[in-house]
Structure 1
Amino acid sequence: MKMMFFLCLLVVAMISNSYCYEPNHRGVRNQNQRGQESQNMPLQIVGKNVCHFACCFYKEIASRDKSGNIFFSPLSISTAFAMLTLGARSDTLTQILRVLSFNPREISENEIHEGYRQLMQMVNRKNEVLQLNMGNVLFVLDRLKPQQKFLNDLRNFYEGEAYPMNFKRADQAQIKINEYVAGRTNGKIKDLINNLDPLTEILLISYIYFNAEWEKPFDPKNTKKSKFFVDGNKAVEVPMMFGMGVFKHGYDEQLSSTVVQMDYKGGASAFFVLPDQGKMGKLEKKMNCGRITRWRTLSSARGTVNLRIPKFTLYGTYDLKEILYKMGIMDVFTDKADLSGITGQPQHRVSQAVHKAVIKVDETGTEAAAATGMEIVPMSVPVTITFNRPFLIVITMEENILFMGKIVNPLKKD
């Protein structure tokens, strides 16, 4: 079975709140300690903070709609707003960093950008068996001249590009931007921008594309129609994949949830998390980075499993302006915004912020399944794990979270 995460994009068009905080148990570091730390420490800190942001963002979405599917890329959203801090100043900068879980007493702005640079290098390095690439682009009103330092930092830290654009001809600009996005995402997202505002001055796009095959693919011949219980009473018929073999799995007692780790060819992993009946609320409330980190250890024990997981396709679309304002990024969306580091003038603000992500899980080739052949398994009674009610999915690459989601109804794509 192949699992494809087609796209996660953030678009930022420039023209009582509560902060979600998770303690990361890092003490304040002095200069001597910093000098002794390894060169990849910024990468580790950024990776942990993307995880903190992911949990906060998930909980904010889940609190709005308890019955809907969820799917997003915290890495894409976090990267785009970290890029924005290159040009943000004063309270605008402070609010963005706080919501992204960065503490200026623990890490400098330069270290933050260096961490994202290392993270992007990791994501974009060549991989023969896994497609994963992430990028950023800046469309700028053709009469504006971004600061050279901003452009240099955009390129050096985020591999960002900048293109002049005539937004006053909004229809033409929209076509060009959507063509650019489609080209960078293998055509999976064709109409990212709709009703582009002709007053737009700067448009920032961050995208991530992921396409990988399981180490242990499912045989399509074993996929059968089966019931998936959307809630205690309502059930829908879904194509349920079946695999029998040695899978990494465990039980998280603190979250009352079964965790199955499935690895991809190329080094990425997916964690499928199935809460006990009626325990989804407990899982969502108590889920944090500490628990997610421990899932890898928890599921390290291998055992024979009869595993059933539904095929599904999800499209996640979110108004980031509304969600992030609630989370604490306020000024950047109002006339109080100070983004003077971009063009030298502080009058720009974010008027639009849209995030789109797509995930498709299915069998995409009998050859891959047939090539698996027979697996020698221990002589033991297999455990049966069936994902036939709402569950979570977390996709990681070298312990960095790429995607996070909740499947409530596998048949509902939006």
Structure 2
Amino acid sequence: MYWRKMKPIILLFIFVIGVLANNAFPPNAGNQYYDNNCDDLPHALDRNHPNQPNLGRSQTPNEIVGRTNSNFAFKFLKIAASNGDQRDNSGKKNLVFSPMCISSAFAMLALGARSETLDQILTGLNFKPTEIAEQNIHEGFHDLIYMLNNGSSGLHIEMGSCLFVQNKLHPQPNFLYGLRNIYRGDIYMENFRNAAETIQHVNSYVEKKTHGKISKLVDRVDPVTEILMVSFFYMKGNWKKPFNPKYTELREFYVDPYTVMKVPTMFQMGMFENGRDDQRACTILKMPYEGHADAYIILPDKGQMDRVVRSLSNEAVQAWKRILHKSSVDVYMPKSKVYGELNLKDIMYSIGIVDVFTEKADLSGITGQPQHRVNGAIHKAVMVIDERGTEASAASAMDLVPMSMPIRFEVNRPFLAMIVERKTACIIFMGKISNPAEN
């Protein structure tokens, strides 16, 4: 029997929002840290919808947020996958994103939203006032972020947000409290008219938080920008059953019926949950990480990618729990280093989050003034699967494989991947990988 340590899948997700004010403040020299000690500030979450649901003991806020985030993830995937022109004219480029990163960034924005703008954000994120109060939404995100950051999931995850604010603005105490104590946010005061200095500060901050994986997030900043919001997500996870790099070899990968390429492909044999979903025309392999997370590798039948994407839902995942069964599997998995970049404005428009990008936006809870709107939103992601690791850890896992013909699961054509935190069923990563060798 042979095993190897696969270096983790490493995921990086950056979400950026630029907020412009209709009434600009005069510039002020200097770039300093805004020391917002919020420990003695009033709690930011006293603003609730009129009908407060009784959550009881059946589901905690983080479980509700996790389930709702999964609904949002599938909705986002369908819209993003159909917007092929954002990536190329054919829509065949890779699509990778973190639903948790995107939804938590907009939820943080909701702390400063009011009236219709607030309702649009929460509804767009798939929250229903009859199921969960706004206060409990933020509580759920807080618990999820804390759990992911402190290693309770068994994964190495760092997640947080930062505001870069025009230095003549004065963020509201309640918003600062929520930013720091709920969403683990930082805040820095900037002079956006000094674009070069701001760009350097933002990029160095992101480079540090992503361990150098993204060194140049922005290359320009509009001088009339009032608030720049950055949300980051970094993950490193080890397979519970690692691969052995000496069995990696070049194998064919069919990008489309007319494009075949040789890509390094890893191999292992072991006991994995797998199954066939005839209704959705795909085969599923579930691969656990060390800790409380699983990767679902979804391999559509030839030519059925669009059908599978349209059919994905929480109900589909529940159906897989009945379909998947553990058996001996020969796994062939391509090494990958794929990048994704999405302009979120059009996607959020389709989802129903519209006002934040227009003059109708009411984000007065951020600075006390209603004349602010979101100028743009960009999501950048990197997914790396490679084999760096130690031989000692590679030899630490072994299965007793029955003497029967193993099932062959060969990822040799475009596939879907999602990483799910097991305790809350929260989807923290999704990918539609059309070309594992794309740079």
- TM-score, normalised by the number of residues in structure 2: 0.86
- Cα deviation code 1:103-141 (max 9, x no counterpart): 123221111111111111111123696311211111111
Residues in 2 aligned to 1:106 and 1:373: alpha-carbon distance in whole angstroms: 43
Decide whether the 8 Å contact of 2:117 with 2:361 is kept in 1. Answer: yes
Alpha-carbon shift at residue 370 of structure 1 (Å)? 3.8
The answer to whether the 8 Å contact 2:153/2:293 transfers is no
| Aligned residue number for residue 52 of structure 1 | 71
User: Is residue 37 of structure 1 aligned with residue 57 of structure 2?
Assistant: yes
CA distance in 2, matches of 1:371, 1:120: 33
Q: Say if 1:293 and 1:175 are closer, same or farther in 2 by CA, change over 3 A.
A: farther
What CA distance in whole angstroms lies between the structure 2 residues aligned with 1:129 and 1:343? 38
Conservation of the 8 A alpha-carbon contact between 1:228 and 1:238: yes
Which consecutive residues of structure 1, in runs of 5 or more, have no partner in the other structure?
Answer: 16-28
Aligned to 1:230, the other structure's residue is in SS state strand
Indicate conservation of the 8 Å contact 1:220/1:366, yes or no.
no
Query: Any conservation in 1 of the 2:160–2:231 contact (CA below 8 Å)?
Result: yes
Alignment partner of 1:305 out of 329, 335, 338: 329
**Matches of 2:55 and 2:416 in 1, distance apart?**
40
1:355 aligns with 2:379: yes
What residue is the counterpart of 1:190 in the other structure? Answer: 215
Is structure 2 residue 31 aligned with structure 1 residue 10?
no
Aligned residue runs from structure 1 range 81-96, under 5 A:
81-96=106-121
Instruction: Report the Cα distance in structure 1 between the residues aligned to 2:405 and 2:434, rounded to whole angstroms.
Output: 30
* 1:23 aligned partner: none
For 1:19, the equivalent position in structure 2 comes to: none
Q: Name the SS of the counterpart of 2:54 in structure 1.
A: helix
| 1:410 corresponding residue in structure 2 | 436
Quote the residue 1:131 is aligned against. Answer: 156
- Partner Cα separation in structure 2 for residue 171 and residue 203 of structure 1: 15
Q: Residue 256 of structure 2: SS of its match in structure 1? A: coil
Q: SS of the residue aligned with 2:135? A: helix
Partner of 2:177: 152
CA RMSD after TM alignment:
1.9
Match of 2:44 in 1: none
Question: Taking structure 1 as reference, are residues 157 and 404 closer, same or farther at Cα in structure 2, changes over 3 Å only?
Answer: same
Kindly provide the amino acid, as one letter, of the partner of residue 402 in structure 1.
I
In structure 2, the residue corresponding to 1:214 is in which secondary structure? coil
1:297 positional shift:
5.0
> How do residues 309-328 of structure 1 correspond to structure 2 at under 5 angstroms?
309-328=333-352
Query: Secondary structure of the equivalent of 1:82?
Result: helix
Task: Pick closer, same or farther for the CA change 1:412–1:365 going to 2, 3 Å.
Answer: same
Aligned equivalent of 1:290: 315
2:270 is aligned to: 245
Distance in 2, Cα, partners of 1:10 & 1:274: 28
Instruction: Note the C-alpha offset of 1:281.
Output: 2.0
Deviation at 1:220, TM superposition (A): 1.0
Task: Tell me if 1:346 matches 2:366.
Answer: no
Structure 1 residues 217-228: aligned runs within 5 Å: 217-228=242-253
> For the structure 1 residues 290 and 374, does the alpha-carbon distance in structure 2 shift closer, same or farther, using more than 3 Å as the test?
closer
Q: Which runs of 5+ in 2 are unaligned?
A: 1-5, 21-49, 85-90
**1:217 Cα deviation from its structure 2 partner:** 1.2
Aligned in 2, Cα 1:368/1:251: closer, same or farther, shift over 3 Å?
A: farther
Distance 1:402 1:152 in 2: 25
**Secondary structure of the equivalent of 1:376?**
coil
Distance of aligned partners of 1:92 and 1:266 in 2 relative to their CA distance in 1, 3 Å threshold:
same
For the pair 1:279 / 2:307, whether they are aligned, the reply is no
SS in 1 for 2:372: coil
Structure 1 residue 374: Cα displacement: 5.3
- Any idea what SS the aligned residue of 1:58 has? helix
Comparing 308-317 and 322-331, the one that deviates more? 322-331
1:68 paired to 2:93: yes
Distance across 2 between alignment mates of 1:284 and 1:129: 29
Q: Percent identity?
A: 46
| Rounded Cα–Cα distance in structure 2 between residues aligned with 1:329 and 1:394 | 24
Q: CA deviation at 1:156?
A: 2.4
Matches within 5 A, 1:11-26: 11-15=16-20
The alpha carbon displacement at 1:304 in A equals 0.9
Take 1:169 and 1:297, find their aligned partners in 2: how far apart are those partners? 58
Q: Is the 8 A contact 1:141 1:165 kept in 2?
A: yes
CA gap of 1:77–1:276, structure 2 versus 1, over 3 A, is: same
Structure 2 counterpart of 1:412, one-letter code: E
In 2, the alpha carbon distance for the partners of 1:324 and 1:346 equals 21
Give the equivalent residue in structure 2 for 1:26: none
**Residue identity opposite 1:409 in structure 2:** N
Tell me whether 341-350 or 229-238 shows the greater mean CA deviation: 229-238
| Residue in structure 1 matched with residue 354 of structure 2 by the alignment | 330
TM-score by length of 1: 0.91
**Match of 2:147?**
122
Are the equivalent residues in 2 in contact too, given 1:139–1:202 (CA < 8 A)?
yes
Amino acid at match of 2:330: N
Deviates more, 1:245-254 or 1:42-51: 245-254
> Which amino acid in structure 2 is aligned with residue 172 of structure 1?
E
Query: Which residue of 427, 430, 433 maps to 1:401?
Result: 427
**CA shift for structure 1 position 30:** 7.5
Q: Secondary structure at the match of 1:349?
A: strand
Relative distance call for 1:30 and 1:82 in structure 2 (3 A) is closer
Amino acid at match of 2:274: H
Structure 1 residue 6: Cα displacement: 3.4
User: Residue 296 and residue 180 in structure 1: after superposition, are their counterparts in 2 closer, same or farther (change >3 A)?
Assistant: farther
